[in-house]
Structures are given as C-alpha cells and as structure tokens.
Structure 1
Amino acid sequence: MRNLSPTEIDDIIDVAHALADAAREATLSHFRTAALTADTKEADRFDPVTVADRLSEERMRAILAARRPQDAILGEEYGARPGTSGLTWVLDPIDGTRSYLAGTPTWGVLISIADEGGPIYGLIDQPYVGERFEGGLGRATMTGPHWTRPLSTRPARPLGEALLMSTFPEVGTPEEGAAFHRLSRQCRLTRYGTDCYAYALVAAGHVDLVVEAGLQAYDVQAPIAVITAAGGVVTDWQGNPAHQGGRILAAANHEVHAAAMAVLNGA
C-alpha cells in the first residue's frame, strides 16, 4: 500500500462517509415507492437498473469531482473516469438491485478506494437498516441505530459448524454451482439472498463463509477492505487476489478459508 499522510487518510475517510450519506438519501428517496420501475441491462436476462442506481452514483461522482478530482473512478452505472493520483474510487450505487426492487432491506451501497495493489479502505452501507461497516486505513467498525462496535471476524471452528452464505443458489456456471453445493453439504447452515450484507456479517463475526462467482470489481472491493480489516480473508477460489471480481471466497479466518478452498477445488 502506498504511503498516505494522516491528513490524506482523514480526507479519504471523510469523503467516503460523505459519499455514503449522499447515496443513502438518493436510494431511500425511491425505495418502496409505487412508481419504482427498472430497465434491464441485458437482453437475454433480467439485470435490473433503476433511477435510484443512477441517481446514487451521479451524486457520489459529483462529490468526488468537487473534493477528489485527482482520483480515478470506477462505477457500475457510468464506468471509468481516469485520474492522476494513483487512487481509484470503486462505486456500486446499489448492490442488490433485485432486492431493492422487491422491497427487502438487505441491499446496500459499496464504496472503496484502491491503489495499484487493490482496495485500501471500504464501506458497506445499508441505507434502510441504518448500518455502516467500515474497514481499512486503521479502522474496523460498524455503526448503526442500536450500537457502535468494532468489527472482528469469527475464530476458527470446523467446517461442519460453519455458516455459509451466497446471493444465488445457482452460484455461476453449472460447474461452479456443483462446487458450491459440495461445500454447502459440508457446512452446518447455508443461507441465500442478502447480497453485500453477507460480507458485512462475515466482518461482524456472525458468518464463516461467503462464496460467489461471476462478480465484478465494484461488487467486491469494499467487502474485501472491510473483511480484511476485521481479520478475515478474501481471495478467489484458488487463493489469489480477488479485487477484480470473478470467483469469490470470503472467510472469517485462514483455517476455514483453507478448508473451504480444498472442497471447492475437489479435494
């Protein structure tokens, strides 16, 4: 990680929270409204995008243009903007648009900043629930309506006692799905459908594993920063860096990570 001065660290953190605040307001202004509809990004499957996705990213980009114009941006809805600082903000304005459309509360906003080595700081924000999970640059904290607590992942325990989560039961291709379900059969409990909130639960010490496939950089970089700061491990299914997306294995500790990776790879 590049060396950042205390002043720059404070500014990055302050800007990240300003982005999350703006995204909260934008997304909640349309959530559970009768007029909410969605377009699809792909012709052959329903990949929804709403006015709230676009508004959330537009407002975050406006803040970055005013406060951090030297930084690059990579956002889900409006793509890449180059920068000169060597730092890139990675934005997912609504992670879980399907959940957002359905009126369920576990969708979130993902904000991170990365250097050439990957994410160095991230936020997982849950606007409707009011919880915010922060990790990196010396921080690992969750805040919410009930408490503020440090983040710390769960200690090691046998795979047969582990809680496993994923967004979709299919988990990518048929081959990837078969590997996932092989792992699921060895875990105590498997749950689906919470999008980025599953990663926050790993960081908070409630879940042992999140396994997914087919993800993009903006889906994973904030969770990587938060989970790593809380003491967990996030890689691809072979143990390599995962900040560009693809197959994701997020684990509470190195022991459960190794056990899950062995099962995913057929050992």
Structure 2
Amino acid sequence: MNNFDTKKYPAFSSFLNQLAKDLTKFYYAKLDKPFKITNKMKGKGYDPVTTSDKAFEKFIRSKISKRFPDHQIIGEEYGHKNTKSEFSWVIDPIDGTRSYVVGNPSWSNLISLNYNGEPILGLANFPKMKKYYLNVNKNTAYVFENNKKRKLKVNSKLNFANSKLAAAFHNQLTLKQQSKIQKFIKRMQFPCFDALTYCQLAEGRLEMVAQCANKIWDIHPIMPIVRASGAIVTTWGNRNPVVGGNIIVSNNKANHKQILKLLKPLAE
C-alpha cells in the first residue's frame, strides 16, 4: 500500500461515514425533485448526466476541500484538482445515472480515497435505499442500514458449479465478441444493478460479478470494499483493476481462475 500509515484509517473512515449520512440528507433536502437531463454523447449514443449529478459532485468536493484542502480530487463531472498530495479522492456523484433517470433505487454516490494512486477506502452510498457500504481498513467493511451495521463477508466456500454470476456488457461487446465467450454467457444468471451488484457480492448474496467499461470512478470506490470482504478483483486480463475497463470480482481464488479462463478470448 505504498507505506500508507494505517493509523490514519479511523480519521478517514469516520469522515466517509459522516459524508454518507450528509449525502442522503442532502438528496432529500435539495434533490428529491424534478431534474434536467443532458445527453453527453449528443445523439451519437446515450450517456446521460443530470443536474443532480453536478449538484452531488459539487457537494462532495466542498466537503473534501473543507476537511482536506491539500488533497487531490478527481470527479466524473468536474475533472481533476491536481496538487502535490499523495492522497486523491475519486468521485462518481451518481453511479447509475440511467437508473436515477427512470426512478430505479439502485443508483449510488461512489467515493474512494486513494494513496499514491491505489484505493484504500471506499464508500458506496444508496440514498433511496437508505443504506451504505464502507470499508474502515484493509480487512474490514460494513453495510450500514437501519442504524445498524453488518460486517461484509463473501461466501468464500461456494464452488464454481454452485456460484451465482451477475454480468453486464454495457453495450461494449459486439455479437462477434460475445460469440467467443459462449460458455461464460451460459453461466450468466443475474443482471447487474450498477454498483449495488458488487456490494451484494461483498454481502455474500452473489459469488461472481463481471462488467465492461468501468471508469476509474466506477471501480475505485468498490475495490477496497470488496477486498475487505474477502473478494478477488481484477480486470478480465487478470491485471490491477485500478486501470478500470472490464472488471471481474469473485468470491475466491479458484472461482476467479475459472471465470478468467472463460473470459480469456476477450482478455485485454
């Protein structure tokens, strides 16, 4: 972890714990109302951004800047605040904007704290579901709900044959590419609901999750949470997922190896 001082975990995790509560309050006080939608791709596809995305990111940036003014900030909507700090915050103000647009509750606020580029803490906050997921150190993560917290732990003993797989290609794979991973496609049993599906794996509800085209703000906040729950996370090419791209998360090393084998024809 590049010599990160682990004694600093409590201060940072406490900040994120409070930020989760503040974000949910902010949503119901300011954003639970009609909003405007803009298509970033301007007719060449569909990549929506809403006025709520921008409001959330401004709110998150203000909280971070007030508490940690020298830290770097990288956000989906407002870019990179570059400083000399070893710490950087990566923000997806609304992960699952499509879900937000149509009223599905699975959208979330995703935030990671990185040290020298590697995510060390992650928050996935679900205002509509009134719950959030947060790791407090390298080995411990919780889901907070109804004023209670439950420790996250993957179902590590379940073997490949009995494991549940959720996947989403996000329109990134052609039919020709999909034809190369037919064995994988036949194993797909569940859809993905944005970052929530990764979090459900951390709870032990699923054993494998695969997604395409994750940006750094999609996956950085998830990495510390699932790893603290005991999961394995890499790219489809078995590389460090910090680069983003096509991501696979598994409940144990044996299953991860099996699923990587099925995805090998499309490995980066």
TM-score normalised over the length of structure 1? 0.90
Indicate if the aligned counterparts of 1:27 and 1:53 stay in contact, CA closer than 8 A: no
Post-superposition offset of 1:11: 2.1
Post-superposition offset of 1:92: 0.6
Counterpart CA distance in 1 for 2:170 and 2:97 is 17
Q: Deviations over 1:57-80 (max 9, x none)?
A: 101100111110111111111111
Which runs of 5 or more structure 1 residues have no equivalent in the other structure? none
Q: What's the RMSD between the two structures over aligned residues?
A: 2.1
Question: Would you identify which runs of 4 or more consecutive aligned residues in structure 1 move more than 6 Å?
Answer: none
| Percentage of pairs with the same residue | 25
Which runs of 5 or more structure 2 residues have no equivalent in the other structure? none
Counterpart CA distance in 1 for 2:147 and 2:14 is 22
Match of 1:160 in 2: 161
Counterpart CA distance in 2 for 1:175 and 1:86 is 43
Letter in 1 for 2:233: V
Match of 2:144 in 1: 143
Counterpart CA distance in 2 for 1:96 and 1:263 is 27
Counterpart CA distance in 1 for 2:67 and 2:180 is 44
Post-superposition offset of 1:170: 4.1
Match of 1:50 in 2: 50
Match of 1:222 in 2: 221
Q: Which aligned pairs between 1:67-86 and structure 2 lie closer than 5 A?
A: 67-86=67-86
Letter in 2 for 1:18: Q
Indicate if the aligned counterparts of 2:169 and 2:212 stay in contact, CA closer than 8 A: no
Instruction: Report the secondary structure of 2:221's partner residue.
Output: helix
Q: Give the aligned length.
A: 262
Q: Does 1:125 align with 2:105?
A: no
Match of 1:183 in 2: 184
Instruction: Report the secondary structure of 1:191's partner residue.
Output: coil
Match of 1:204 in 2: 203
Match of 1:241 in 2: 240
Moved more, 232-241 or 10-19: 10-19
Post-superposition offset of 1:147: 4.3
Counterpart CA distance in 1 for 2:36 and 2:183 is 37
Instruction: Report the secondary structure of 1:15's partner residue.
Output: helix
Q: Deviations over 1:218-258 (max 9, x none)?
A: 00011111000110011001211011210101111111111
Letter in 1 for 2:66: A
